């Protein structure tokens, strides 16, 4: 009966095709298409595709499949999906899972149903739509009858939610539906032995099977993903089987696609297998230009999966013409991912070939210029190094990018390391030593900074050729505002220099570049752009809320970069310094301007910094209290040590026995110095605790007291250590082997305290007494540093040359 129904359905399908076709050629084409559809329906993830009467069993199978693939959360979640402008990483992850879930449901539906739901782009909406279409009817009414009449019934409830693309639709019945109703899957059991042999890596069994079945080399042997033997071997990463299969297959056979449109080379790009990719490209070089169903070519797939060396190899063999902006999203997607993964050699070469790729959207609608503007860590402004690392950083010389030659060199170096030659081992040893000392990290950091700047230069040159509409479509304005928020001086100044008209752009709140630089506290950008126009002209600008440039400095937002400043008190000091500096650059009249809320800049500053000032007050009190306890302990110890001198007193004269000893004189001097300095520190910390904490106090008064208190406390601890060591030497000078270890061990706790707290004193001095925010020209403290600078630069260049030779 089932066979009869199936044959009857096929006859009706053919009659329908011939009736709707105007010629025999068209009818033949329709039959070919129908056969392809039937072959496609055979490769589903459920035993039976969705028909009119199997929704309950079908939905249970689909749910189990989605749970197994960790995709069910896309269906059951009640939250809104992430937006690309909020979080690009979360949106990309959600988009990938949504597409996988959507694909799994779609290929498990009959063609008649698929034609109704193909325009739905959300997996959750699609699932709810199918559930609504096939909800159980009352009193035996068929689902198709209820759905057909639900939209035409006059007394239907108003406002009842309609599933997308389902209203006014009738699910076709089994007698006339041309889709894949029922289980029409091909029998893949004959390839089970071949599939198992390939997955287990048994070439002998694979070869024997292929000798008996020569056509199996290009046959589909797996019903879910539509893999051929070559796909399966690459997925299992059995290089020896892949090499044998490639030798046996024709050149065009390597381009066979699976159900996702992937070639075997795409599988190698996903796995990151360099040897397999090289083997296939040697036989068919055109594989690098074949995209999958998402139009992704292998080099894009490789870099998306983080396989840098394979991405370099595939890029060298991919025609540059395939990556031009007019050919699709591959060029922009590749450029964006090379920026993410720091493959700047590929990025610079790609930009030199197609400069307009900087403004082309990728698959997620992000342009490379915007992506680069979202990565402050790729530029020197976001790097904060200690003084000796800054000195080494400045000595490192990075030569200009060699584009294709550099890419080949990177591939060659990777192959040498893989082979394990003696030269590679020596290079690895030197690299490990430099990495241990921190030099390699600094070199890689500066390499990223230099290549990022070269990439920005290429992009900025292309900006000068764009008109207003091209800048909007290419995301130039969005990139500038994002770079302003991240504090990337190179991008902002580069774009404005290439097109000075962009200096006058405004965001949605009518804030210009200088106002945004002040709002986000980026001194370099503020001062660089502030010089383009007179201060009075900038001061006259206001946003839609009536705020001028001083109001911008007075605001404290979630994007204000204060995390790098230790302690709330120093953060408050920094905010006051910004306000004072900008106020000194502007016309005094704007200090009394009011915004839409009726607040002057100073009033707005007090309002927005109220919480920060409280935190600063608490931080100052806590720090002072802790240090005051240590100072009091030092006072107690040093005061008692004066009356209990080492060696005791002379019973006749009452004077210390070692009163004429030079070591005893040192002991007395260090004891008194420690006592007086610790007393001064306690008084300073007491003054901090009892201060009334006005806004202006955080600018100079409180930091000065803290600096004096910490300095005298550290001095008292140092002199206390000297007094203790001198006392031991006086009493045990004849036993140096005993004195020296005791002195070292006794100084450990005090030394640890100084090391842990000394950075606070350094930060206080730096933020209080250094030059202004907009005048940070560093003056060398020692002239002989230039000599060591030159010597270090020469030695580092010699090492780098030996690495590349």
309 SS3 class = helix
What pLDDT does 239 receive?
Answer: 93
In CATH terms, the superfamily for domain 189-375 is Ankyrin repeat-containing domain (1.25.40.20)
The whole-angstrom separation of Cα 546 and Cα 60 is 60
For residue 369, pLDDT over 60 is answered with yes
What pLDDT does 653 receive?
Answer: 66
For residue 491, pLDDT over 50 is answered with yes
Residue 562 confidence class, pLDDT cut points 50, 70, 90: confident
Return the higher-pLDDT residue of 82 and 172. 82
Mean of per-residue pLDDT scores for the chain: 77
| Lowest mean pLDDT segment, chosen from 71-80, 227-236, 300-309 | 71-80
For residue 490, pLDDT over 50 is answered with yes
- pTM to 2 decimals? 0.65
Q: How many CB atoms lie under 10 A from the CB of residue 652? A: 6
- Find tokens 């287990």 and name the residue: 200
Q: Which residues of 170-208 are buried (b: 16+ CB within 10 A; e: fewer)?
A: ebbebeebbbbbbeebeebeebeebbebbbeeebeebee
| Lowest mean pLDDT segment, chosen from 25-39, 260-274, 330-344, 711-725 | 25-39
| Lowest mean pLDDT segment, chosen from 405-414, 586-595, 703-712 | 405-414
| Lowest mean pLDDT segment, chosen from 2-11, 57-66, 158-167, 358-367 | 158-167
The whole-angstrom separation of Cα 437 and Cα 796 is 13
Each residue of 375-411: pLDDT tens digit? 988 888 777 777 777 777 777 877 776 655 555 445 4
The whole-angstrom separation of Cα 632 and Cα 798 is 55
The whole-angstrom separation of Cα 407 and Cα 344 is 10
Each residue of 152-162: pLDDT tens digit? 333 333 333 33
Domains 189-375 and 429-608 share a fold: yes
What pLDDT does 778 receive?
Answer: 34
Each residue of 20-54: pLDDT tens digit? 333 443 443 443 344 444 344 434 477 778 877 78
Each residue of 277-300: pLDDT tens digit? 999 999 999 999 999 998 999 999
For residue 754, pLDDT over 60 is answered with yes
Alpha carbon 525 to its chain centroid, in Å, reads 23
The whole-angstrom separation of Cα 311 and Cα 313 is 5
* CA dihedral over 228, 229, 233, 239, signed as positive or negative: negative
The whole-angstrom separation of Cα 350 and Cα 327 is 14
What pLDDT does 780 receive?
Answer: 38
What pLDDT does 339 receive?
Answer: 93
Q: Find the distance separating the first CA and the last CA of the chain, reported in whole Å.
A: 77
104 SS3 class = helix
Contacts of 90 (CB under 8 A, 6+ apart): 82
Each residue of 413-455: pLDDT tens digit? 544 444 445 555 666 666 666 666 667 778 888 888 888 888 9
The whole-angstrom separation of Cα 167 and Cα 150 is 8
What percent of the chain stands above pLDDT 90? 31
* CATH code given to domain 429-608: 1.25.40.20
* CA dihedral over 33, 39, 45, 48, signed as positive or negative: positive
Closest Cα partner for 213 from 228, 234, 231, 235? 228
Residue 732 confidence class, pLDDT cut points 50, 70, 90: confident
Full 3-state SS string of 653-670: CCCECCCCCHHHHHHHHH
Q: Are 681 and 713 in contact (CB under 8 A)?
A: yes
For residue 601, pLDDT over 90 is answered with yes
Return the higher-pLDDT residue of 381 and 798. 381
Residue 262 confidence class, pLDDT cut points 50, 70, 90: very high
Closest Cα partner for 373 from 339, 349, 345? 339
**Domain coordinates in residue numbering, the chain:** 1-41, 50-149, 189-375, 429-608, 612-769
What pLDDT does 141 receive?
Answer: 34
The whole-angstrom separation of Cα 145 and Cα 135 is 12
The DSSP annotation for 24-92 comes to HHHHHHHHHHHHHHHHHHTS-SSSSBB-SS-HHHHHHHHHHHHHHTT-HHHHH--SPPPPTTT-HHHHH
| Lowest mean pLDDT segment, chosen from 332-336, 516-520, 640-644 | 640-644
Q: Which residues of 543-559 are buried (b: 16+ CB within 10 A; e: fewer)?
A: beeebbbbbbbbbbeee
The whole-angstrom separation of Cα 311 and Cα 332 is 15
């Amino acid at each position: 009966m089932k066979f009869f129904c199936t044959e009857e359905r096929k006859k009706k399908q053919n009659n329908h095709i011939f009736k709707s076709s105007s010629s025999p050629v068209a009818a033949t084409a329709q039959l070919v298409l129908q056969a392809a559809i039937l072959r496609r329906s055979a490769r589903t993830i459920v035993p039976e595709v969705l028909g009119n009467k199997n929704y309950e069993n079908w939905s249970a199978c689909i749910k189990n499949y989605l749970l197994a693939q960790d995709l069910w959360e896309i269906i059951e979640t009640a939250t809104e999906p992430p937006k690309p402008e909020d979080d690009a990483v979360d949106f990309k992850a959600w988009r990938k899972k949504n597409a996988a879930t959507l694909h799994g449901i779609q290929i498990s539906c009959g063609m008649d149903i698929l034609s109704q739901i193909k325009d739905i782009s959300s997996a959750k909406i699609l699932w709810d739509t199918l559930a609504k279409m096939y909800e159980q009817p009352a009193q035996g009414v068929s689902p198709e009858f209820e759905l057909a009449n639900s939209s035409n019934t006059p007394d239907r409830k108003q406002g009842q939610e309609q599933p997308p693309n389902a209203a006014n639709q009738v699910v076709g019945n089994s007698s006339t539906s041309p889709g894949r109703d029922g289980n029409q899957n091909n029998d893949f059991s004959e390839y089970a032995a071949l599939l198992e042999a390939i997955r287990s890596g048994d070439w002998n069994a694979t070869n024997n099977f292929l000798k008996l079945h020569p056509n199996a080399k290009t046959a589909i042997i797996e019903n879910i993903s539509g893999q051929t033997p070559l796909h399966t071997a690459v997925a299992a990463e059995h290089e020896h089987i892949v090499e044998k299969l490639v030798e046996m297959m024709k050149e065009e056979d390597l381009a066979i696609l699976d159900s996702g449109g992937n070639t075997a080379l795409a599988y190698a790009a996903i796995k990151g297998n360099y040897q397999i990719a090289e083997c296939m490209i040697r036989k068919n070089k055109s594989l690098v230009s074949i995209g999958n169903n998402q139009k992704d070519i292998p080099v894009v797939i490789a870099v998306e999966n983080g396989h840098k060396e394979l991405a370099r190899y595939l890029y060298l063999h991919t025609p540059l013409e395939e990556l031009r902006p007019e050919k699709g999203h591959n060029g922009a997607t590749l450029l964006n991912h090379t920026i993410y993964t720091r493959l700047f050699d590929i990025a610079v070469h790609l930009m030199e070939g197609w400069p307009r790729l900087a403004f082309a959207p990728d698959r997620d609608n992000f342009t490379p210029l915007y992506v680069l503007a979202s990565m402050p860590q790729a530029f020197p402004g976001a790097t904060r190094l200690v003084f000796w690392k800054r000195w080494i950083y400045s000595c490192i010389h990075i030569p200009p990018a060699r584009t294709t030659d550099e890419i080949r060199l990177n591939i060659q170096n990777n192959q040498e390391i893989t082979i394990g030659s003696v030269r590679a081992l020596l290079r690895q040893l030197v690299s490990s030593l430099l990495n241990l000392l921190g030099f390699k990290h600094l070199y890689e950091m500066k390499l990223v900074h230099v290549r990022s700047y070269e990439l920005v230069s290429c992009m900025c040159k292309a900006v000068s050729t764009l008109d207003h509409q091209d800048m909007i479509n290419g995301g130039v304005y969005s990139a500038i505002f994002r770079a302003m928020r991240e504090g990337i001086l190179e991008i902002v100044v580069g774009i404005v220099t290439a097109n000075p008209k962009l200096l006058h752009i405004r965001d949605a709140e009518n804030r210009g570049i200088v106002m945004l630089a002040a709002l986000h506290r980026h001194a370099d950008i503020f001062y660089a752009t502030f010089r383009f126009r007179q201060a009075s002209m900038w001061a006259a600008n206001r946003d839609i809320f009536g705020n001028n440039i001083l109001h911008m400095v007075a605001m404290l937002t979630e994007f204000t970069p204060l995390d790098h400043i230790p302690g709330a008190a120093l953060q408050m000091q920094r905010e006051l310094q910004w306000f004072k500096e900008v106020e000194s650059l502007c016309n005094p009249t704007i200090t009394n301007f009011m915004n839409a809320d009726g607040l002057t800049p100073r009033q707005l500053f007090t309002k927005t910094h109220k919480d920060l000032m409280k935190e600063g007050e608490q931080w100052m009190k806590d720090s002072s209290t802790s240090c005051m306890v240590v100072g009091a302990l030092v006072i107690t110890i040093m005061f008692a040590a004066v009356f209990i001198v080492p060696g005791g007193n002379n019973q006749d004269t009452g004077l210390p026995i070692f009163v004429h000893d030079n070591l005893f004189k040192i002991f007395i001097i260090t004891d008194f110095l420690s006592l007086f300095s610790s007393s001064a520190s306690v008084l300073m910390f007491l003054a901090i605790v009892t201060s009334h904490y006005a806004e202006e106090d955080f600018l100079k008064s409180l930091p000065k007291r803290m600096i004096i208190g910490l300095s005298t406390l550290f001095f008292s601890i140092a002199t206390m250590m000297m007094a203790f060591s001198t006392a031991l030497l006086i009493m045990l000078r004849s036993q140096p082997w005993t004195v020296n270890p005791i002195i070292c061990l006794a100084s450990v706790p005090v030394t640890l305290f100084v090391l842990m707290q000394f950075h606070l004193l350094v930060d206080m001095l730096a933020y209080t007494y250094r030059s202004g925010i907009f005048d940070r020209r560093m003056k060398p403290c020692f002239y002989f540093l230039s000599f060591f600078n030159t010597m270090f630069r020469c030695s580092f260049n010699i090492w780098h040359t030996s690495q590349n030779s």
